[in-house]
Amino acid sequence: MTSTRLAGEILDRDFLAIRHAILNIAAGLDRVGDGRAVDSVAGDPRLERIHEALKVLAEGETGRAERVQMLFSRAYESNWRS
């Protein structure tokens, strides 16, 4: 099963929602950046993940949601039983 709709229709319907989500990210990062002692979070791995995730969003290929999920996931260790 695949999408039943044309890409143009989807963009018409979802443009404002996507714009809204991006603005929330921008404002959220500004909020952190405007906080006191911002240097203390410079190397925070969570911020690094966020910046890596933003790069995924800019990629052309679909499957971005899955790749972002993997970016925020701990890696599988096959020897977990030991």
Partner 1 sequence: MNYIDPHIHMVSRITDDYERLARSGCEAISEPAFWAGFDRGSAEAFRDYFKQLTEFERNRAAQFGIQHFCWLCINAKEAENVSLSREVIALIPEFLDTPGVLGIGEIGLNKNTPNEATIFTEQVDFAASHEELILIHTPHLEDKYMGTRMILDVLASDSRVTPGRVLIDHVEEHTVKLALDGGYWCGMTLYPLTKCTPARAVDIIERVGVERIMVNSAGDWGVSDPTAVPKFVVEMRSRGHAESTIRKIVYDNPLSFFSQSKRFDFTPRD
Residues with Cβ within 8 Å of residue 52, at least 6 apart in sequence: 71
Torsion of CA 12, 18, 23, 28, to 10 degrees: 170
Q: Which of 2, 27, 39, 58 binds partner 1 (CB under 8 A)?
A: 2
Size of the site for partner 1 (CB under 8 A): 17
Minimum distance of partner 1 from residue 36's CB (angstroms) = 26
Q: Which of residues 5-24 bind partner 1 (CB under 8 A)?
A: 5
Torsion of CA 73, 78, 81, 82, to 10 degrees: -110
Q: Which of residues 15-74 bind partner 1 (CB under 8 A)?
A: 65-66, 69-70, 72-74
Q: What amino acid occupies position 67?
A: R
Q: Does 79 bind partner 1 (CB under 8 A)?
A: no
Q: Which residues bind partner 1 (CB under 8 A)?
A: 1-5, 65-66, 69-70, 72-77, 80-81
